[in-house]
Structure 1
Amino acid sequence: MDGQDEVSAREQHFHSQVRETTICFLLFAVLYVASYFIITRYKRKSDEHEDEDAVVNRISLFLSTFTLAVSAGAVLLLPLSIVSNEVLLSFPQSYYIQWLNGSLIHGLWNLASLFSNLCLFVLMPFAFFFLESEGFAGLKKILEDLDEQMYMITLEEEALQRRLNGLSPSVECDLLDLEQELQNVKTLKAKLERRRKASAWERNLVYPAVMVLLLFETAMSVLLVACNVLCLLVDETAMPQGSRGPGIGHASLSAFGFVGAALEIILIFYLMVSSVVGFYSLRFFGDFIPKKDDTTMTKIIGNCVSILVLSSALPVMSRTLGITRFDLLGDFGRFNWLGNFYIVLSYNLLFAIVTTLCLVRKFTSAVREELLKALGLRKLRLSSAPREPDSAKPSANGHQKAL
């Protein structure tokens, strides 16, 4: 019986490993495909003409896509873990979610940590230097492009010279050109009208909703950080160290259950978006923003590295600020400074103060006026000067009106 039990345990462990590997592979494949479409949307299309250029750009493209997929996985670590914990609590005996267990979640955290370090210290430096080493081979392509542009400019110059010499097209062609220009003006006018209507809709509906959502998320973030500061002062278990809890699916992370977990996920994504927007808003990185169909591979590599750094820091930042109570797993919870009370407390206080100042500075009177106007609440404000009652107004013959 002991031998059969041992064989059965080994078979279960084998099937569990195969299932977890398959799930991780499918999840990464979806992220890789999505990352590939995102990068090709911004990548410059004219970078692949010569054979040697195509090979180098293709290798750099695959490495950048891999890095962006790893970044997306790091962003989804906490939301997937929080959702998994709540689902296991809601359906503890369900047969269809037996694959969702603590071993799978720990494996995802370990893979995200491993691949993040691999991309940051190995793959991306290799892609950058490999792309730069191809620069001399691409000089031939640059010269050919210059020759082609000079040829086109010469043709245009000859056409203009012929028109100046009286060899312009006939009157009928001029009329056709005039009709074509008129049609272009009508088309442009129709596009501008549609754009004006869309702008009005965005101003009246989308802008107020986005403003209210941003204000709510910012206020909630400050409130949770303030509560975390109080917890740090009175309870040492609030420190963002490694896994110390009972595990996945044993206790809810929020007193409000699934609603609180959903709020935590929203705030985690808000932190990521605000970090990316703040990064690209810096003066030094203003020209670093990718442009559709006009971004070089060097800029794509730099953007992938920047997003990887921000996404890898997201789980640690969310746990340190008290946005979530989910324990850090894998290598994410093994940083020495996570156990330093003064560093963690200073980080929370700095975040709360800076975010509050930013909220006060951005939510000015002009923004409030615009928001009230968009919400249709501007007419509800009381006038600063009270109206004089009708009984106090003098009549035409000098007497007051009777009540």
Structure 2
Amino acid sequence: MEDYEDEPDLNEQIFHNNVREQIIFLLLFLLLYLFSFALLGRFKRRGREDYYSTDEDEVTVYRISTWLCTFSLAVSVGAILLLPISIVSNEVLVNYPNSYYIKWLNSSLIQGLWNYVFIFSNLSLFILLPFAYLFTESEGFFGHRKGLMARVYETFIVLALLGMVVLGMTYVISALIDKDNSSIQTILNLTSYYLPFLYSCISFLGVLILLVCTPLGFVRLFDVVGQFLIKPQFLRDINEEYFACAMEEESLRRRLKHAQNTGKSYVSPAPMSIGLSGPFIEEEYKLPENLLRLRNGELQSGLGARLIAVEERRKTLDKQRQTSSLRRNVVYPVAMLLLLGLTVIAVLLVVQNTLSLLIGIKALPSSSKQFTLGVSSLSKLGPFGAALEIVLIVYLILTSSIGLYTAPCMRRVRPKPKSTPFCLVIGNCALLLIISSALPLLSKILGITNFDLLGDFGSIEWLGNFKIVLLYNLSFAAASTLCVVNKFTAKVRRELYARILVLLELNDPPISISSTPRPSLAKCE
């Protein structure tokens, strides 16, 4: 009788644990969804094609597509938070194993989170985002009654045809790469072979994008931080520069007003001295010498552009003048040293991981055993080492995002606040989903963290290829080192090159006038 009484209690406990995990997943997803919806609302353009349209079907189409994009963006944010949440959960369970308040935090919860992110990533990448794009571009088949359902039918049919094309290309690629598993029988193995193979190809593409964007982001992050912090101004008088710039601004404003009142397109006679570029104005704000001699209506436009530049310079100097010396001379150097230190630590960890792979100390990412949550700390330094891993992972997220959207080829795709077309919104959601899904793979490949890839993330085939993993580590370390060294030595190299050119010009013997051959009188005649 006691056995029969204990069995319902165990089943009831399993049921309650499952319900609790699903409620936690739902609450977490709602938070991510609300954040993603607010983020899309900041960048999405509101024009005639969506909210301001008079067609109710058009409004409904764009509303549904916005929901699908928001869902995909929420999955991307969840994929980014996978490793930090897992590392924090492991350290909490290690330090407080018997706490009553964290009984809900267990391995099943983290494992389920990884599984849901993997499933929703595939769903968003292969179904939801293509459906959102095709849905906004659909108009219904010719000859049928126009309406919302006609657009739905067209979208489903085009999506099915596109899926057949993609699966056919996947079969061809798999036949070229893996000839042993390519046969007629494997064509129908969509869920067990082709879909995992297709996602592994997408993840490999995302890792390659991160290989280019992350080292580039290491360099661009210094410039981004420099835009928000006040640079130290040693051996300079900020007040004197501010008043000189204010006088330049007032002079430009008066000349522009005079040109607008008189209607003249040029200044005649030209002043003896330009008087608009002082010794304290940087080169990018100095006026060209021929500005006041412009004709054909170009004077006012030139003065207006220069007035805007000098006004921005004056505001910057005013901000530097009002900032305390402690903040100006301490915060900026500390921030730059912190960024440089994180970059150096990341590169050193990659070099250590490369040497461990060569020696055989560390196994490949796909061959690692399943990690049991709460057994031991991930780092030899304990909570400090785990916190350092989280900081490095967040740093990789920032650098990869900045490197991606500051690349020259991404200028047309880069989202702009309140002015991004909806097709670019869908493209950016797909791009972020690819990169965020590859971020756990990047952190594990480079040895940034020792946390094992859970769920189907650890079953990607190319993670077990020693040559690919080793070549990726070497390429990442070399690219990061070259980018950082080039960033901090570019000015020195340019100055040395200029000095060498000056020395070469000084060493060249002058051309003597008497040594030049004179033409004969006969030839002249």
When normalised by structure 1's length, the TM-score is 0.74
How far, CA to CA, are the matches of 1:34 and 1:239 in structure 2? 36
Amino acid paired to 2:461: N
Partner of 1:251: 376
Distance 1:319 1:46, change over 3 A: same
How far, CA to CA, are the matches of 1:87 and 1:264 in structure 2? 15
Distance 1:132 1:367, change over 3 A: farther
Amino acid paired to 1:21: Q
Distance 1:367 1:262, change over 3 A: farther
The answer to whether residue 216 in structure 2 is matched with residue 211 in structure 1 is no
Partner of 1:169: none
Partner of 1:8: 9
Amino acid paired to 1:29: L
The answer to whether residue 421 in structure 2 is matched with residue 314 in structure 1 is no
Amino acid paired to 2:36: S
* Cα displacement string for residues 248-279 of structure 1 (whole angstroms, at most 9, x for unaligned residues): 00011101111111111111111122222222
- CA apart distance, 1:339: 1.4
Which of 102, 112, 120 aligns to 2:107? It is 102
Amino acid paired to 2:98: Q
Which of 68, 73, 86 aligns to 1:68? It is 73
How far, CA to CA, are the matches of 1:364 and 1:234 in structure 2? 34
**Sequence identity of aligned pairs in percent?**
51
8 Å CA contact retained: 1:85, 1:248: yes
The answer to whether residue 45 in structure 2 is matched with residue 56 in structure 1 is no
Partner of 2:466: 341
Which of 115, 123, 126 aligns to 2:120? It is 115
How far, CA to CA, are the matches of 1:346 and 1:256 in structure 2? 29
How far, CA to CA, are the matches of 2:319 and 2:480 in structure 1? 32
1:145-294 matched pairs, under 5 angstroms:
196-198=317-319, 201=323, 204=329, 207-235=332-360, 237-241=362-366, 244-294=369-419
Q: Which runs of 5+ in 1 are unaligned?
A: 138-188, 369-403
8 Å CA contact retained: 1:74, 1:311: yes
Q: Which moved more, 1:103-112 or 1:191-200?
A: 191-200
8 Å CA contact retained: 1:31, 1:73: yes
8 Å CA contact retained: 1:242, 1:328: no
Amino acid paired to 1:8: D
* Cα displacement string for residues 160-219 of structure 1 (whole angstroms, at most 9, x for unaligned residues): xxxxxxxxxxxxxxxxxxxxxxxxxxxxx9998665444665865654344222211111
How far, CA to CA, are the matches of 1:116 and 1:199 in structure 2? 46
How far, CA to CA, are the matches of 1:260 and 1:367 in structure 2? 36
Distance 1:205 1:120, change over 3 A: farther
Distance 1:229 1:293, change over 3 A: same
Distance 1:203 1:123, change over 3 A: farther
RMSD, matched Cα: 2.6
* Cα displacement string for residues 128-154 of structure 1 (whole angstroms, at most 9, x for unaligned residues): 1111225999xxxxxxxxxxxxxxxxx
How far, CA to CA, are the matches of 1:323 and 1:275 in structure 2? 15
8 Å CA contact retained: 1:242, 1:329: no
Q: Secondary structure at the match of 2:453?
A: coil
Aligned residues: 318
Which of 482, 486, 489 aligns to 1:357? It is 482
Distance 1:62 1:6, change over 3 A: same
Partner of 1:132: 137
Distance 1:193 1:282, change over 3 A: closer
Amino acid paired to 1:361: N
8 Å CA contact retained: 1:241, 1:339: yes
8 Å CA contact retained: 2:371, 2:452: no
How far, CA to CA, are the matches of 1:237 and 1:289 in structure 2? 39
- CA apart distance, 1:87: 0.3
How far, CA to CA, are the matches of 1:281 and 1:309 in structure 2? 18
1:30-41 matched pairs, under 5 angstroms:
30-41=31-42
Distance 1:355 1:192, change over 3 A: closer
How far, CA to CA, are the matches of 2:426 and 2:474 in structure 1? 34
8 Å CA contact retained: 1:288, 1:303: yes
Distance 1:365 1:334, change over 3 A: same
Which of 306, 327, 330 aligns to 2:452? It is 327
The answer to whether residue 304 in structure 2 is matched with residue 301 in structure 1 is no
8 Å CA contact retained: 2:37, 2:70: yes
- CA apart distance, 1:46: 2.2
8 Å CA contact retained: 1:56, 1:134: no
Q: Which runs of 5+ in 2 are unaligned?
A: 147-309, 494-525
Distance 1:13 1:195, change over 3 A: same
Q: Which moved more, 1:41-50 or 1:323-332?
A: 41-50
Amino acid paired to 1:75: I
How far, CA to CA, are the matches of 1:72 and 1:217 in structure 2? 23
* Cα displacement string for residues 285-313 of structure 1 (whole angstroms, at most 9, x for unaligned residues): 11211111111111111111111111000
- CA apart distance, 1:237: 4.2
Amino acid paired to 2:17: S
